[in-house]
Structure 1
Amino acid sequence: VYFAGDTGFHGGTNYRRMAEKHGGFRLAILPIGAYEPRWFMAPQHQNPAEAVQGMRLCGAVHAAGCHWGTFQLTDEPIEEPAQKLAEALVAEGISPKRFRAMRPGEAWDVPPPG
């Protein structure tokens, strides 16, 4: 399991390093919220499209989106991260079963490899 913490995308550098060091992951826990306005938040928080790129770059089979939906921290509407994640997954041809926008307290039995 790779937990990215609270991070900006930074061209995917951190994700590439994790894939090189660990060879991929069954699950990546990636932040998808608190990203607007981009001019100010990009260094600290990635957006959902960047999280989808991060999932690919770190070699994660599945991903759980975190850091969203509890209270409005930045300028985007509180439900927008989940909506934007769904759009990014469609754009990248990734099943929504592989990357879920997890709600606080939600459990997910992540499928085994293979």
Structure 2
Amino acid sequence: MSKSLLIISRQAPWSGPGAREALDIALAGGAFDLPIGLLFLDDGVFQLAAGQQPGAVQQKDLGANLQALPLFGVEALYASARSLSERGLDDAQLQLAVQRLDDGALTSLLDRYDQVITL
């Protein structure tokens, strides 16, 4: 039986390699039918913002990777409600549907997964 994996993505899209690595791990695990969840926390919620212009910082757009997650079976997508609120993001500004979790629900989420990776 496959162990479940929760990936916590805490970096803004272009602040370093962490955001892309988190998405790559999620897509690879999904390709192998692993039970995967992806949590956007802290500045990681900026990955969800629509209308980004990665060319301005000479980077590739992560939007295509985000849109591919459900195609690879990664459908358990979560975001910290506090992180979204602190950064002024609401559902209309997000390019991907995620389940908003309050702090108590985040603790419960961590308990549901066998392994947790934070990037």
TM-score (norm 2): 0.43
Higher helix share: 2
TM-score (norm 1): 0.45
